[in-house]
Structure 1
Amino acid sequence: MIRQIGLLMCLIPALQAAPAVPVPESVAVLYNSSSSESKAIATYYAEARKIPEENLVGLPMPEKEEVSREEFNTRILEPLKAEYDKRGWWKRQEHEGKLIPISKKIRVIACIYGVPSRVAAQPNDPKMVPGGAPPLNTTEAAVDSELALIGNEDLPLPNALINRYFKQDLSVFDTNMSTTLVGRIDGPSRAICERMIRDAVEVEKTGLWGMAVIDIAKKYTNTELGDPWLESIARANRETGIPTLVDRFQDTLPTNFPLRDVVSYYGWYDWNVSGPFLNPTFRFKKGAVAVHLHSFSAAQLRDPGKNWCAPLLARGAAATLGNVHEPYLEMTHHFDIFQARLKAGYTLVEAAYMAVPVMSWQNVVLGDPLYRPYLHIDGTGDKAEADREYRAIRLATMRWQNDPRQLDAMLREGADRLKSGVIMESLGLMKTEQRMTAEAAVDFQRAKVYYTAAPDRLRMDLHIAAIDRAGGRNDSAISILRGARTLYANLPEAVAAQAWLNVIDPPSPPPAQPKK
């Protein structure tokens, strides 16, 4: 099957060429010259992406994550503008009474670990009133989102401003925008930042291949935002041939839920890292893009157990999105646009800015700004053994995307011949999404036979229990979960079965104690 699919490349129409990547000379690397680690990471990144040494900018900044508006202006913004002037990085002139850049050498800024990430609110900022409209004229913001407007003078400060790159499907080099795209290589430690850089460069050689996880927690039922973004990603993944586990229970995935080969994660809405990512053995596959929607997901970037951005990066993700303060749902990154632009071949920073409707706001993108995770979604790139089955699923989907029966038959034949739990599980996930749940359960049972690792087998039981739970067959789900809890009692992942049991078969309350 896999050898056969490998021969299909000549039969598959060429996909649209990937957008041009920003040239290294167009990237400025901003670091904190007061921090030796910041400078070291900046140098490491410039070498990895062949960014000219003269494009590194070191400024003495406060060594803290949050700065006041005055500190931002005097220690970061104005000194950086002076560097632009000195280095001849732009030309500016008045337009409609405002000074704006009319040409720029620098189109992307990479902020490095050590550069503050948050601008604090001023004391007189309006506060959120329960039941009231969101106060959009706050002065608190992400440093990066403010720097995206560098060179544009006399802008209204206490406002979220329209992002004219939102929903574009055009390389930043093919626009005449005065906006600069600002990304951030940051996280809990220097080692993690350097690993993020390495992973991005290495994965661009092979492509990003693995399993996707989408956790649709259904926290808000009367909204056109959030859940629909995730449903759209799930549909697009099926069409692309990316195996995708979709959880639609109101509770997010339980603690220690067993996962493998996760390269894409989207979910919401917990305050701090939870679910599968608390499993001490869990690691994302190299190059993963992992995002959890929460108002304060990037409120801090140092503690690997707090909020979401820092923990996801600490667990091996190469890139994530987040918010440093309350952004309000409609002004967060639109995940469906972000994922679609990544799959179209845009860089991480381009996809992030195409997906966010505002600037001078709370949004950040973390990871190598030039990273293109889906550069080889067409099946090109270096071949790695760990990617083999995922490549097979993708190429089969490309070949038989208009013939579902043939696609199913070819994948099934390959899974049986190769005894591939990965391919058989992907079939079960596809059948689940097609509401062919009886067939899906059979596929998961078959995958359980092919998998050799106990956590993978447990996951197949959880898939089947989820089908029964979603179908209202709680007795059957309880039976499966009790059996899994017993069979895999020595695994950390067994607590996931118990967590679902606590939801659908809660323990009886303790007997009342008589008053003494």
Structure 2
Amino acid sequence: MTRSIAICLLTAVATLATAQDHAGSERVVVVRNTRSAASRTIAEDYAQRRGAAIVDVTCPDAALDATSETIPHADYLTSIATPLRVWLASHPGVDYIVLTKGIPIRVQGAPRGVFHGQLALDSVLAALGYEEDATAVTVDVTDANFGPTYHGRPWANRFWNSAAPFRHATCGGYLVTRLDGYTVADALALTTRALAAAATLEAGTAPAGTVLLDVCPSAGMGDPARQPHALVTADHRPHQDVLIAGESAWGDWNADMKLADGRLRARGLASRLETSDVFQGMPGLMGYASWGSNDSHYDAGAYRALGFAPGAIAETAVSTSGRTFLPTTGGQSLLADLIAQGLSGGKGYTDEPLLQAIASPSILFDRYARGWNLADSFYAASALVGWQDIVIGDPLCRGYPERP
């Protein structure tokens, strides 16, 4: 009897998820690397469950080894960017590009990159068309703490802090996300969790998980009223670069978490602002932000004890949280660990982005709590494109019902 009930419940959830799985599919394309078994499996699964179109590319299989996670810029242009541009030219209604495990995460030798041209491949794709747009704003980034080769020229994200959901026709560029993790199973689970979250919303059940915002007290606390900080200000002159010559104060990101907490509470949602020296691990979360291994009291055990409800999203202020999606040891805390622990979507960085590039918690969780999808929420909260950013998850994933 117990087994029969369980089967019925699983069937009901699957039915609800299937009823939603093609909504918005005309706005999405998933990219399949023909040389990668992992990419083929994930892309075909996503296309079947979401009804998205597939575009094929041919490049080294990044699911096999860490070296293949990086691709020379010239090869990126011929094997990935060009096929996508050709396809997108005849599909103007597409807003979201979904990459898959097996496609490189990093471009090397890019003219606008740091450390001899390194950029996140995903973020470079997100800026498609910016180069040809005379109104696009270049951000000139340097930081003496990282040496003379740390000089990059990303773009100011035109969708940053937008009050309206994304449309390529309005903002230019694309919102690029990735289905990835340590394993193919981890990557496939991202779509499964997005559909489970959709089933919860379709059933009229409110998400009950808490958003945990874990402040690092030793970084100080800025003024929440001055957050989030805009790179492109009202007095910006056309064709003038925005200059970043060093990292912003860490206390500002703490203040942004405090602002996010206030906004979530004002909506009647469960939020916990952790201001003690204890690095927290909690189960059943709907959202998470912390300093990860940059926290002066970081606890790897607590990080690995974090658990997530379907639809949960996360951001950590960690410079290289997205440096690999293959099993590894050592180094800073990784986004891939949280994916393996049940996360539905998150943001990571292939190489040093500076704190200015980390997603604003107050924007991220405000938009997501309004019922915006995962891609819109992360990109609205992110100041730069053509930089070091990687957004993981099904772009159409929603954790909350739509509301003003």
Specify the TM-score bucket, using the shorter chain as the normaliser. 0.7 to 0.9
> Does structure 1 retain, via aligned residues, the 8 Å contact 2:70–2:107?
yes
Deviation at 1:245, TM superposition (A): 3.2
Deviation at 1:73, TM superposition (A): 1.5
Deviation at 1:140, TM superposition (A): 1.6
Identity in percent: 24
One of 339, 347, 350 as aligned partner of 1:324? 350
Unaligned runs of 5+ in 2: 1-21, 62-67, 141-151, 202-206, 223-248
Q: TM-score, normalised by structure 2?
A: 0.73
1:233 corresponds in structure 2 to 260
- Choose between structure 1 and 2 for higher RCO, CA contacts under 8 A separated by at least 6 residues: 2
Given residue 33 of structure 1, which amino acid in structure 2 is its aligned partner?
A: T
1:74 corresponds in structure 2 to 78
Instruction: Write the mapping of 1:486-497 to structure 2, written as runs, cut at 5 A.
Output: none
> Does structure 1 retain, via aligned residues, the 8 Å contact 2:95–2:168?
no
Given residue 179 of structure 1, which amino acid in structure 2 is its aligned partner?
A: G
C-alpha distance after superposition, 1:388-417 (max 9, x if no partner): xxxxxxxxxxxxxxxxxxxxxxxxxxxxxx
One of 194, 200, 208 as aligned partner of 1:200? 194
Query: SS in structure 2 opposite 1:44?
Result: helix
Structure richer in strand, relative to its length: 2
Deviation at 1:375, TM superposition (A): 2.2
2:43 corresponds in structure 1 to 42
Given residue 269 of structure 2, which amino acid in structure 1 is its aligned partner?
A: I
> Does structure 2 retain, via aligned residues, the 8 Å contact 1:81–1:151?
no
Structure richer in helix, relative to its length: 1
2:393 corresponds in structure 1 to 367
Instruction: Write the mapping of 1:460-479 to structure 2, written as runs, cut at 5 A.
Output: none
Q: TM-score, normalised by structure 1?
A: 0.58
C-alpha distance after superposition, 1:464-513 (max 9, x if no partner): xxxxxxxxxxxxxxxxxxxxxxxxxxxxxxxxxxxxxxxxxxxxxxxxxx
Q: Take 1:195 and 1:334, find their aligned partners in 2: how far apart are those partners?
A: 26
Q: Take 2:36 and 2:126, find their aligned partners in 1: how far apart are those partners?
A: 23
Q: Take 1:125 and 1:284, find their aligned partners in 2: how far apart are those partners?
A: 34
Given residue 125 of structure 2, which amino acid in structure 1 is its aligned partner?
A: L
Instruction: Write the mapping of 1:108-147 to structure 2, written as runs, cut at 5 A.
Output: 108-121=96-109, 139-147=117-125
Given residue 361 of structure 2, which amino acid in structure 1 is its aligned partner?
A: F
Given residue 83 of structure 2, which amino acid in structure 1 is its aligned partner?
A: P
Deviation at 1:369, TM superposition (A): 0.7
Q: Take 1:226 and 1:347, find their aligned partners in 2: how far apart are those partners?
A: 23
1:62 corresponds in structure 2 to 60
Deviation at 1:165, TM superposition (A): 0.6
Matched, 1:178 2:197: no
Deviation at 1:152, TM superposition (A): 4.6
Q: Take 1:68 and 1:174, find their aligned partners in 2: how far apart are those partners?
A: 27
Given residue 73 of structure 2, which amino acid in structure 1 is its aligned partner?
A: R
Deviation at 1:24, TM superposition (A): 1.0
Q: Take 1:283 and 1:175, find their aligned partners in 2: how far apart are those partners?
A: 37
2:287 corresponds in structure 1 to 264
Matched, 1:288 2:312: yes
Instruction: Write the mapping of 1:421-432 to structure 2, written as runs, cut at 5 A.
Output: none
- When residues 106 and 273 of structure 1 are mapped into structure 2, their CA distance, relative to the original with a 3 A threshold, is farther
- When residues 373 and 179 of structure 1 are mapped into structure 2, their CA distance, relative to the original with a 3 A threshold, is same
2:17 corresponds in structure 1 to none
Q: Take 1:199 and 1:260, find their aligned partners in 2: how far apart are those partners?
A: 16
Number of matched pairs: 323
Deviation at 1:124, TM superposition (A): 11
Deviation at 1:22, TM superposition (A): 7.5
- When residues 273 and 300 of structure 1 are mapped into structure 2, their CA distance, relative to the original with a 3 A threshold, is farther
> Does structure 2 retain, via aligned residues, the 8 Å contact 1:225–1:329?
no
Given residue 364 of structure 2, which amino acid in structure 1 is its aligned partner?
A: F
- Mark the structure with the bigger radius of gyration: 1
2:88 corresponds in structure 1 to 84
Q: Take 2:218 and 2:368, find their aligned partners in 1: how far apart are those partners?
A: 26
Matched, 1:168 2:168: no
Matched, 1:335 2:358: no
> Does structure 2 retain, via aligned residues, the 8 Å contact 1:304–1:311?
no
Instruction: Write the mapping of 1:385-396 to structure 2, written as runs, cut at 5 A.
Output: none
- When residues 121 and 334 of structure 1 are mapped into structure 2, their CA distance, relative to the original with a 3 A threshold, is farther
Deviation at 1:154, TM superposition (A): 5.4
Q: Take 1:27 and 1:261, find their aligned partners in 2: how far apart are those partners?
A: 29
Q: Take 1:152 and 1:30, find their aligned partners in 2: how far apart are those partners?
A: 21
Q: Take 1:22 and 1:139, find their aligned partners in 2: how far apart are those partners?
A: 38
